[in-house]
């Protein structure tokens, strides 16, 4: 959470992506149903305790291009294409420390990716055995890159990917599947065929 003030301009730029999607969790109690007009009253919602956002990844985006180049180098062009040709990039996931370990992170990532039309989801997290990384593995994410350094960062990162939809039930960690490429076809109301889960 300490990095958030310095990331404000990055987040504002991300919010400008046409496919930007964000979710937030508030600490309000006894809230009416979201369709109830009283739910719009910020005094009833309470403070935000978690938020996450992401967007469709595309060539020309800083993170996307760095990761594509690294995946090309580690697994070849078809490997990078399979993971990044039609992907939802989970850019930020934050849960206030007082609310961690209660399922909020899991719920917010599932809500963020629910009904996305992309084939895959990708994200980066510090390359350490952390609660966040274990959560991502339980959701079906697997390591695509490890010990990866973004320019200007000190700790190494892991880049992780999952085939959408994410696992809603906890399961054992998975290895990154070798996805095959197919032409990028996006239909507004239908999903492309999915590869089998491994």
What pLDDT shows up at residue 168? 84
Domains of the chain, residue spans: 4-163
pLDDT tens for 72-92 read: 999 999 999 999 999 999 999
Whether 139 and 162 have beta carbons less than 8 Å apart is answered as yes
pLDDT at residue 29 is higher than 80: no
Q: How confident is the model at residue 25 (pLDDT cuts 50, 70, 90)?
A: very high
Name the CATH architecture for the domain at 4-163.
3-Layer(aba) Sandwich (3.40)
- Write down the pTM of the prediction: 0.78
Pairing of strands 120-126, 87-95: parallel
Asked if 136 is an active-site residue, the reply is: yes
Catalytic residue, from 53, 79, 136, 157: name it.
136
């Amino acid at each position: 959470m300490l990095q958030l003030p310095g990331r404000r301009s990055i987040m504002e730029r991300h919010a400008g992506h046409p496919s930007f999607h964000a979710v937030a969790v508030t600490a309000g109690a006894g809230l009416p149903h979201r369709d109830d007009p009283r739910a719009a009253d910020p005094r009833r919602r309470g403070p935000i305790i978690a938020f996450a956002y992401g967007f469709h990844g595309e060539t020309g985006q800083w993170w996307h291009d760095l990761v594509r180049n690294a995946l090309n180098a580690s697994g070849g062009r078809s490997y990078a294409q399979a993971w990044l040709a039609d992907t939802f990039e989970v850019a930020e996931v934050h849960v206030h420390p007082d609310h961690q370990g209660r399922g909020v992170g899991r719920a917010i990532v599932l809500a963020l990716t629910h009904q996305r039309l992309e084939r895959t989801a990708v994200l980066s997290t510090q390359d350490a055995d952390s609660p966040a990384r274990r959560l991502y593995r339980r959701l079906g994410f697997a390591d695509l890159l490890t010990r990866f350094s973004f320019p200007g960062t000190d700790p190494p990162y892991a880049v992780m990917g999952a085939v959408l939809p994410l696992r809603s039930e906890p399961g054992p960690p998975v290895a990154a599947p070798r996805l095959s490429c197919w032409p990028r076809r996006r239909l507004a109301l239908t999903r492309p065929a999915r590869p089998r889960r491994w």
